[in-house]
C-alpha cells in the first residue's frame, strides 16, 4: 500500500484499525507511530480558528499541509502533527473546543 492508497482506504474505513496502524507505521516510521498515539490519547484539538496538536514540547497549529513546528518549518517535510490531524479527521478523533485558540495565547507572563 502506498501513501495515497492508505489515505483513500482509511477514508472509506473511518477507523484506525490495528491493520491500518501497522500500515501507517510502515509508511511513516516514527512519525506514523506518534500520530497514532496522539489520536489514541486525544491530543488533536479543534478550536474555532485552528486545529492544534499537542506534542511533547509544545502545541502546534496545523492548517491543511502546513504546520508551525520546527520539523516542518526547517526540514519542510510532512511532520507527524499533519499526519495526526489527517488521522483524527478521518477517524473522528478530534476533541472540539468552543474557543478561539488565539485567545489562549495571552497566557500568564
Task: Tell me how far apart the 2 most distant CA atoms of the chain are, in Å.
Answer: 48
Under rule CB under 5 A, residue 69 binds Zn ion: yes
Smallest separation, CB 55 to Zn ion (Å): 8
> Which of 1/89 has CB closer to Zn ion?
89
Cβ–Cβ under 8 Å, residues 92 and 84:
no
Cβ–Cβ under 8 Å, residues 31 and 55:
no
Under rule CB under 5 A, residue 79 binds Zn ion: yes
Smallest separation, CB 70 to Zn ion (Å): 8
According to DSSP, residue 63 is labeled: E
Name every residue whose Cβ is closer than 8 Å to that of residue 48 and which is 6 or more positions away in sequence.
97, 98, 99, 100, 101
Under rule CB under 5 A, residue 10 binds Zn ion: no
> Which of 19/42 has CB closer to Zn ion?
42
Smallest separation, CB 13 to Zn ion (Å): 25
Amino acid at each position: 500500500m502506498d501513501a495515497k492508497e492508505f489515505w483513500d482506504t482509511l477514508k472509506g474505513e473511518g477507523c484506525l484499525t490495528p491493520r491500518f496502524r501497522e500500515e501507517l507505521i510502515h509508511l511513516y516510521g516514527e512519525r506514523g507511530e506518534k500520530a497514532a498515539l496522539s489520536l489514541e490519547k486525544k491530543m488533536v484539538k479543534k478550536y474555532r480558528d485552528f486545529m492544534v496538536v499537542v506534542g511533547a514540547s509544545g502545541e502546534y497549529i496545523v492548517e491543511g499541509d502546513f504546520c508551525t513546528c520546527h520539523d516542518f518549518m526547517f526540514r519542510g517535510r510532512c511532520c507527524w502533527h499533519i499526519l495526526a490531524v489527517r488521522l483524527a479527521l478521518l477517524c473522528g478523533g478530534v476533541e472540539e473546543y468552543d474557543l478561539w485558540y488565539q485567545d489562549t495565547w495571552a497566557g500568564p507572563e
